[in-house]
Amino acid sequence: MKVETVLEVGTVNRVFRDCLLPTGAQKSTGKGAPYIIKKTDTNVFMYFDKQKIEANKKKILNMIQQLPREFLSGSGANFSGSNIDHRGLEWCNNESVQEQLVQLGYAIGVVRFIDPVYSWIERTDRETWRPSFVITTKK
């Protein structure tokens, strides 16, 4: 596999921040794909700029494809395993950054969650529970 965008914390964070719509912009423009940040007692809704997601699609896909191969199988794998790459090396020890990568993959349509996204909001064990997901295609 030719690696064009290295899977690393700084790159994921930069792409994620670049793709977010400014606070309040989704209300005025009607654009954006929802992104949910789960907090202890509340959920914060943020939105991606669809044009920026499209502009960063190749980078996002390249980073997603560097996750372990278990995520490519039909049953997927648990989110907690997304801190290592396909070589078995830890690329991240920060769940917030792992979540950013997974949500970017979801925004470009290559990540499918095993549990419905909005079911997370209703869970009482959000502090310890982590979703499972599968990488659905090599777009």
Q: What is the pTM of this model?
A: 0.76
Which distant-in-sequence residues (6+ apart) come within 8 Å of 103 by Cβ?
A: 16, 35
d(CA 54, CA 43): 26
| pLDDT mean over 36-55 | 67
In which band, very low, low, confident or very high, does the pLDDT at 134 lie, cut at 50, 70 and 90? confident
> pLDDT digits over 110-122, tens only?
888 776 655 555 6
CB under 8 Å to 65, separation ≥6 — which residues? 1, 86, 135, 138
Q: Which residues of 50-76 are buried (b: 16+ CB within 10 A; e: fewer)?
A: eebbeebbebbbbbbbbbbeebbeeeb
Q: Which tokens belong to 62?
A: 């390249």
The answer, yes or no, to whether residue 86 has pLDDT greater than 70, is: yes
In the chain, pLDDT over 70 holds for what percent of residues? 65
Q: Please, what is the average pLDDT of the chain?
A: 76
Q: What six digits make up the tokens of 133?
A: 């997901």
Of 43-52, 53-62, 107-116, 124-133, give the range with the top mean pLDDT. Answer: 53-62
Q: Which has more pLDDT, 111 or 61?
A: 61
pLDDT tens string 100-109: 898 899 889 8
